[in-house]
Amino acid sequence: MVEAERLAAELDAIDPPTLLDVRWRLAGPPGRDDYRKGHLPGAAYVDLDTALCGAPGPAGRHPLPDPAELEAALRAAGVRAGHPVVVYDGGDGMSAARAWWTLRWAGHRSVRLLHGGFPAWTAAGLPVSIDPPVVAQGDVTVRPGALPVLDAADAARLAAGDGVLIDVRAAPRYRGEHEPIDPVAGHIPGAVNLPAPEYVTEGRFPTVEALRDRFAAVGVTGEAPVAAYCGSGVTAAQAVLALHLAGRADAALYVGSWSHWVADPDRPVATGPEPDRSDA
């Protein structure tokens, strides 16, 4: 994470970090509209739906991107091999976290989030530009697999007792009482529920100690494997970031998440309250 004032100082350096504006809303309108109205000076816009994720389909609503297409998009945005990148969004931290996760998965380690996103920048009275930046072509090479991912079978094993699988959707969606997006309501049997507002508030994270306590409350203790899922792998990427902040850099993402799980009608679905983890 990087705070707005610190980032402003870094941008005044001779070789500042590469800025990526990844503002996005699940239901629209496109984040590029916000970018055109004002963005951090020098920031290039990168679209989550078309650049950072693959096309929606059986693999989920936000599957992994094609590596060659991702590499082309990142190079066009000026991402250079080994050079620091800072990503920011509209303040909730979700698309920025998925951008962070995607770049890390692609092998680019030096990635930070602007804590609080674009609202934190403007609240600090820092300058905003409407001018499209002149971006030098980057030379980053995408090497997939630098962060762990789960497929459906992995998720099922983890939820069945091989570790902790965290469902970060709102409790009514987890319990199967309400499902506004996907065709089936419920959760992966054995998954525990920790809705995103329990560990992040408007894109800002609490202390490391608070994060560890909140994850420990759902069974994330010791070295047992841990992973997260949501509806389509965006909010869950934010959970993986929070787990990294809490010291669990091995945390995995079920990228397809619920939208992938329910694409196969033979996969089991649970409803109701979360499982008893007292013996975990």
What count of residues does the chain have? 280
The catalytic residues are: 230
Burial 102-134 (b: 16+ CB within 10 A, else e): bbbbbbbeebbbbbbbbbbbbeeeeeeeeeebe
Rounded distance, CA 5 to CA 149, Å?
34
The H-or-E segment that residue 153 falls in is: helix 152-157
Q: Is the peptide bond before 265 cis (omega within 30 degrees of 0)?
A: no
Rounded distance, CA 101 to CA 240, Å?
8
Rounded distance, CA 123 to CA 176, Å?
39
